Amino acid sequence: MAPAAGEPISRLQATRRPPLPEARWRVAGLDPPRGLLESRIVRRVRGMFAAGLVEEVRGLRDRYPGEWPGRLAIGYREVLAMLAEDPEPGDLAERPGAVEERVVIATRRYAKRQLTWFCAERGVTWLRGAAGDPTAEDGARRVFRAD
């Protein structure tokens, strides 16, 4: 039984109308120049390390010594590998640069997989540019204008 409604969920589902049957969906995707995407990835990864990613991961590893869901995320995975290779904090001074590069590469590969996935989606209007680009913003306004 659906506790809030006081009747079986199957009965509620049978009488329910499809959500927004009159809706016309519009989907737009941004396709930034590869150089811009690359520079944003590098800036983001450097920012993560500057903000204390190594210390954050070390703290999580110490707090949750077993398995925890985030350990496989890009960035966390590479830092955990670095910490496992050389657990002494004093010996890590030169390693983050190499780990940053591994995170940049992993992020770049993930972005490429995302683009490949989204390019296969039907009905997407692709806009050349990135967030904050006036040309892309004008294109988005055209896609989403009310008819």
For residue range 94-146, list pLDDT tens digits in order. 576 889 999 999 999 999 999 999 989 888 999 999 988 899 999 999 988 86
Q: Indicate the pTM of the whole model.
A: 0.73
pLDDT at residue number 145: 86
Identify the band that residue 57 occupies on the pLDDT scale cut at 50, 70 and 90: very high
pLDDT at 92 over 60: no
- For the chain, percent of residues with pLDDT exceeding 90: 50
Mean residue pLDDT of the chain comes to 86
pLDDT at 19 over 80: no
- Helix/strand/coil (H/E/C) assignment for every residue in the chain: CECCCCECHHHHHHHCCCCCCCCCCCEEEEECCHHHHHHHHHHHHHHHHHCCHHHHHHHHHHHCCCCCHHHHCCCHHHHHHHHHHCCCHHHHCCHHHHHHHHHHHHHHHHHHHHHHHHHCCCCEEEEECCCCCHHHHHHHHHHHCCC
